[in-house]
Structure 1
Amino acid sequence: MRTHHRIATCFMIGFILCGTALTLSLIYLRWHIRDLWECIHTYATFDALDLDLFTYPPTYADTKLAAQSPQLAPKILHQIMLHEEHHNTTLSKYTTARQSCTSLHPTWDHKLWTNNNATIFVVTNYPHILPHYLSYPQPIQRTNILRYLLLHHFGGVYLDADITCRAPLGPLLHTPFLTPAAHPAGINNAFILSRAQHPFLTSLIARIPSRNLPWPLPYVENMLSTGCMFFSNAWMAYMRRRDGLDSQDRVFVLADERGRLGAHLLRGRTVTPLFEHGGASSWHSWDADLIRFLDVAGKPLMISAAACLAAIAGVGCLVVMRRKRGLVRRRGRKGADVEKKRGGSKTRVM
């Protein structure tokens, strides 16, 4: 009885400790779980979403309407080049791409943001974001946040440094907010056009403090705290309340004349009607290579792992069955020996 009582006590203590550890883990990870749930929701509902599309090349009707519409976004081209210690991202590397955009927009205001003027801008205009801006461990996180702040404050067009312009962007300036779609869901932040003080960017900036969380992988931390998934999740939340929005507060997604998003995707090295994307991804670390490898080799690896697990399980079952059979045989022999001994003792008594 004492043994059973000890076992029950140990079981209860273990159950309480495991429950406490699980509860504390869930409390600590509750915001991480929230962000992952938002990603799942974005992927699950994107295809069924009724998007506000901006077609390019424009139809005749679109061109006529654009000529009659007021210019909403200013003629400002923003590009960012923050210093990165571990990557060869010098300004000269992107000279050709940058010149292609400046030559197509000679009357525009071209702003190049570096560490010095970028930090001064954040200190002056968004002091409540400054602690987060300075705390990010990766330069790409500061680059991501900076583009949102610049467009919110000034408006205009943001372009990644490795984007080559193939067409003038002036005809797009009558849209309040424009960006390409991302693959396989969401929107991409490599090219963003926006009017100043757009409410979507206001709501996105309000999310910055609560999404500044540590993650075990640098790639995941960037994507969820400042990058495309952060951008897409904020957009999905904004889209859920778009029914009451004014026309100048809408967010448009680039599409071709048939309404297809793929023609304007800025994914890797690609050419679209508006841009040529170099696909530099200079911020990618070892974990990004691992994720790309798993994306390519995911199915073969899963099949191999499943086969190995099945083989291990099969061998384990055989071992257990053999042991059970051996145990039954030994018990049978012991029982027979006991019966023989009992029979012998009875014979002696008689």
Structure 2
Amino acid sequence: MRIPLRISVVLWAIILVVLLGYSISRLLFFKSIFFAHAGIRLTQPQVATAAVESKEAGASQRVQHIPKIIHNVFHNWHVPGDDTLPKDMAEMRQTCIDTNPDFEFKLWTEKMSRDFIEEEYPWFLRTYDGYRYPVQRVDAVRYFIMQHYGGIYMDLDNGCKTDLTPLLYYPLWTTDGGRGALSNNILGSRPNHPFWHRLTLSLIPYDWKWPLPFVTIMYASGQWFLTAMWEEYHALLPRPVAGDAAKNAAPGHEHRLYRVMMDMAEGADPWVFFSHQDGGGGTWNNWDNTLFAGIGDHLLLFFVVLFAGLGLLTWVSVRCVRRYRKKKGYTRLSNRSSSSVA
């Protein structure tokens, strides 16, 4: 059965509009990841200074929101069942133990993590077990830990330079490298913050198996996912009060979350609280990580190529439709053919 020309043209037009609309929506999403973030920006020196000034002023009204507990997650993908930390990770963790002796420390192994999900969040266990890449379980369990216990979560390639107590006075914060997506390598939160409820409930609808491992990990549970949830959460908040109105506002009117800066760029604000192991991280890298790292380093060129590709696709589609229309059109018979028919 042949599709009439007009219907085929309409179908092609609908397909192009859908592709273009989807591409624009994805570009807007990537804009929120790479170019602007909601929330309140805090440098580590600002956090330290605020703590000193509060102590000198004897400000007893300052509220500690986050409990004194530091969580680490270690899932041994190479030797399952062996929960002994590699030497470099153990050394980084020890820096936090040494500088925070009054904190509780909890190391979540693979079995402990699964048992925790099964006991406290059984509705998520099927998704948790079904993740294609092991690092996605590490990503997911940290969010549930923050929701359930609160405290500070830290990747094992991060360490501590000093006491982390000044960071406990902000209800919820994540770290921001200053470029690209927000980071989920260090998190701080009070228990049962509504942000974590929204985020954990979104893990299932975001559990797509994309063709590229990097995209699956980052967008289904990793940094892109966290950033998308961050922006969605802030979009639902009332606009922040500013100026004199802020002084007269009721306590607790500010619901925005905090971004603690951890920029590695030259000339960026110094790191007061955290350290990072040289060459650390990347245990979950796949073949396409290098590809996306290159895109991140040449973001403008990437968007130029993307728009050029969309333009080329549109041009080719239009040419194909015109050629199809010309091919199926009427052609005048020659005189010889006409006479033979007569």
Deviations 1:63-89 (A, max 9, x none): 447653122111111000012239999
1:39 maps to which of 30, 38, 45? 30
1:310 alignment partner in structure 2: none
1:170 aligned partner, one-letter code: T
**Given the two structures, how large is their TM-score scaled by the length of structure 2?**
0.70
Query: Do residues 214 (structure 1) and 220 (structure 2) align?
Result: no
**Structure 2: gaps (5+ residues):** 241-251, 306-342
Secondary structure of the equivalent of 2:205?
A: helix
**Separation in structure 1 between the aligned mates of residue 290 and residue 200 of structure 2, nearest angstrom:** 30
**Separation in structure 2 between the aligned mates of residue 210 and residue 11 of structure 1, nearest angstrom:** 39
1:163 to 1:301, Cα distance in 2 relative to 1, 3 A: closer
- How far apart are 1:297 and its partner, in Å? 6.8
1:242 aligned partner, one-letter code: L
2:263 alignment partner in structure 1: 265
- How far apart are 1:14 and its partner, in Å? 5.5
Q: Which stretch shifts more, 89-98 or 75-84?
A: 89-98
Instruction: Tell me if the contact between 1:180 and 1:265 (Cα under 8 Å) persists in the aligned partners.
Output: no
Secondary structure of the equivalent of 1:286?
A: coil
Query: Do residues 91 (structure 1) and 85 (structure 2) align?
Result: yes
% identical equivalent positions: 26
**Separation in structure 1 between the aligned mates of residue 197 and residue 59 of structure 2, nearest angstrom:** 26
Instruction: Tell me if the contact between 2:182 and 2:226 (Cα under 8 Å) persists in the aligned partners.
Output: yes
Secondary structure of the equivalent of 1:145?
A: helix
Instruction: Tell me if the contact between 1:179 and 1:253 (Cα under 8 Å) persists in the aligned partners.
Output: yes
Query: Do residues 283 (structure 1) and 284 (structure 2) align?
Result: yes
Query: Do residues 70 (structure 1) and 83 (structure 2) align?
Result: no
Secondary structure of the equivalent of 2:111?
A: helix
2:291 aligned partner, one-letter code: L
- The alignment covers a number of residue pairs equal to 283
- How far apart are 1:110 and its partner, in Å? 0.8
The 5-angstrom pairing of residues 180-219 of structure 1 reads 180-219=175-214
- How far apart are 1:106 and its partner, in Å? 1.8
Instruction: Tell me if the contact between 1:97 and 1:163 (Cα under 8 Å) persists in the aligned partners.
Output: yes
1:169 alignment partner in structure 2: 164
1:242 to 1:36, Cα distance in 2 relative to 1, 3 A: same
- How far apart are 1:220 and its partner, in Å? 1.1
Instruction: Tell me if the contact between 1:66 and 1:171 (Cα under 8 Å) persists in the aligned partners.
Output: no
**Separation in structure 1 between the aligned mates of residue 192 and residue 256 of structure 2, nearest angstrom:** 12
Secondary structure of the equivalent of 1:56?
A: helix
Secondary structure of the equivalent of 1:179?
A: strand
Instruction: Tell me if the contact between 2:74 and 2:85 (Cα under 8 Å) persists in the aligned partners.
Output: yes
1:284 to 1:139, Cα distance in 2 relative to 1, 3 A: same
1:284 to 1:65, Cα distance in 2 relative to 1, 3 A: farther
The 5-angstrom pairing of residues 24-173 of structure 1 reads 37-46=28-37, 49=38, 51=40, 53=42, 55-59=46-50, 60-63=52-55, 64=57, 68-85=61-78, 91-92=85-86, 93-173=88-168
**Separation in structure 1 between the aligned mates of residue 49 and residue 29 of structure 2, nearest angstrom:** 33
Secondary structure of the equivalent of 2:71?
A: strand
**Separation in structure 2 between the aligned mates of residue 120 and residue 195 of structure 1, nearest angstrom:** 22
RMSD of the alignment, in Å?
Answer: 3.9
Q: Which stretch shifts more, 164-173 or 36-45?
A: 36-45
1:176 to 1:214, Cα distance in 2 relative to 1, 3 A: same
1:9 to 1:288, Cα distance in 2 relative to 1, 3 A: closer
1:108 aligned partner, one-letter code: F
Deviations 1:218-243 (A, max 9, x none): 11111111111111111111112333
Instruction: Tell me if the contact between 1:176 and 1:249 (Cα under 8 Å) persists in the aligned partners.
Output: no
- How far apart are 1:174 and its partner, in Å? 1.7
1:252 maps to which of 258, 282, 297? 258
**Structure 1: gaps (5+ residues):** 1-5, 255-260, 305-350
Deviations 1:18-59 (A, max 9, x none): 579x49x97xx97x986664333444543xx56253623324
1:300 to 1:173, Cα distance in 2 relative to 1, 3 A: closer
**Separation in structure 2 between the aligned mates of residue 131 and residue 14 of structure 1, nearest angstrom:** 43
2:85 aligned partner, one-letter code: L
Q: Which stretch shifts more, 35-44 or 198-207?
A: 35-44
**Given the two structures, how large is their TM-score scaled by the length of structure 1?**
0.68
Instruction: Tell me if the contact between 2:177 and 2:183 (Cα under 8 Å) persists in the aligned partners.
Output: yes
- How far apart are 1:184 and its partner, in Å? 2.0
1:97 to 1:41, Cα distance in 2 relative to 1, 3 A: closer
Higher RCO by CA contacts (8 Å cutoff, separation 6 or greater): 2
2:158 aligned partner, one-letter code: I
Q: Which stretch shifts more, 276-285 or 94-103?
A: 276-285
Larger Rg: 1
Q: Which stretch shifts more, 277-286 or 192-201?
A: 277-286
Instruction: Tell me if the contact between 1:188 and 1:266 (Cα under 8 Å) persists in the aligned partners.
Output: no
1:39 to 1:9, Cα distance in 2 relative to 1, 3 A: closer
